[in-house]
Amino acid sequence: MLSLYGKNISSRLLLGTAQYPSPAILAEAVHNSATEIITLSLRRETAGGKQGSRFQELIKTLDVHVLPNTAGCFSVKEAIITARLARDLFKTNWIKLEVIGNQDTLQPHVFALVEAAKILTDEGCEVFPYTTDDLIVAEKLIDSGCKVLMPWCAPIGSAKGARDTDGLRSMRAHFPDIPLIVDAGIGRPSHAAAVMELGYDAVLLNTAVAKAGNPARMAEAFAQAINAGRLGFEAGMLEPRDVAIPSTPVIGRAVFS
């Protein structure tokens, strides 16, 4: 079973909560897919206010783990302020740390990310950093106290699926004991299955589900694909070959032609 900062999680699908047609449909997506962790942006949804909103109250009633995030933060300071606010509002030490380097591509600012991760872990936060598949950045995040990493597999919302499979494979190989959750870039269930087959521990999605024609069904489709990918990885898959190999022995069989 997947364990994240000491909490056992049976679903390997994490869902974002933005852009759904309505909170009711979001709730349906969470239930249908048996998702146990949802993430929520604080910066954007508080409109400068420090008090919670009714939407946040609705989120709490879903009875799943809330992983607040710092989406939309561009500096260490902003991210830290938002993380502290999240901790108070949701009474959790979990924080999905995003420090964005580019407003347009939403690429992680990895230097600020490492700095913010260090400050927050020192304050007792359990940090889930949104990062790239760069191995040295990953090492620095682990040195800063992160016990989970969330690499992208393609830019946020791009729906492209894994852009650099070798990079992801090598990250998995370098950090065999750290839970790795693919965050961002997944478009369809087969993309999710593909990264799970590489041995990733879980997948976080938002747009691919929220913007689907039927978000609740899509969430279910992803849950199944993620399971299939995980089972495939655990069962041990064949390596591809260049030539056909018959599945039954040929030698000794009667040959009629």
- Which spans in 3-98 are helix H? 23-33, 54-60, 76-90
d(CA 121, CA 129): 11
- Does the annotation count 7 as an active-site position? no
Beta bridge partners, 150, equal: 130
- Distance of closest approach, residue 61 Cβ to another protein, in angstroms: 10
Choose between 32 and 93: whose C-beta lies nearer to another protein: 32
Q: Report helix, strand or coil for 134.
A: coil
Assess contact for 132 and 151: CB atoms under 8 A: yes
Binder among 10, 22, 247, 257 for another protein (CB under 8 A): 22
d(CA 63, CA 21): 20
Q: Report helix, strand or coil for 182.
A: strand
- Distance of closest approach, residue 218 Cβ to another protein, in angstroms: 13
Residue 85: partners with Cβ closer than 8 Å, 6 or more residues away: 42, 46, 50
Query: 95: closest CA among 84, 106, 103?
Result: 84
Scanning 48-56, 62-70, 117-125, 241-249 for contacts with another protein by CB under 8 A, the matching segment is 48-56
Exposed / middle / buried, residue 49 (Cβ in 10 Å: 0-12, 13-18, 19+): exposed
**211 lies in the binding site for another protein (CB under 8 A):** yes
Binder among 7, 44, 77, 174 for another protein (CB under 8 A): 44
Pairing mode of beta strands 202-205, 181-183: parallel
Rg (CA), the chain: 20
**Selected catalytic residue, list 60, 96, 140, 211:** 96
Choose between 35 and 121: whose C-beta lies nearer to another protein: 35
| Binding letters toward another protein, positions 137-166, x by CB under 8 A | --------------------x---------
Scanning 39-47, 122-130, 131-139, 161-169 for contacts with another protein by CB under 8 A, the matching segment is 39-47
d(CA 174, CA 203): 19
Choose between 78 and 134: whose C-beta lies nearer to another protein: 78
d(CA 219, CA 8): 21
Assess contact for 192 and 12: CB atoms under 8 A: no
**23 lies in the binding site for another protein (CB under 8 A):** yes
- Distance of closest approach, residue 223 Cβ to another protein, in angstroms: 21
**33 lies in the binding site for another protein (CB under 8 A):** no
| Binding letters toward another protein, positions 50-69, x by CB under 8 A | -x-xxxxxx-----------
Choose between 52 and 167: whose C-beta lies nearer to another protein: 52
Binder among 6, 124, 176, 213 for another protein (CB under 8 A): 213
- Distance of closest approach, residue 156 Cβ to another protein, in angstroms: 9
Residues that bind another protein (CB under 8 A): 21-25, 27, 44-49, 51, 53-58, 72, 157, 207, 211, 213
**Active centre residues (catalytic):** 96
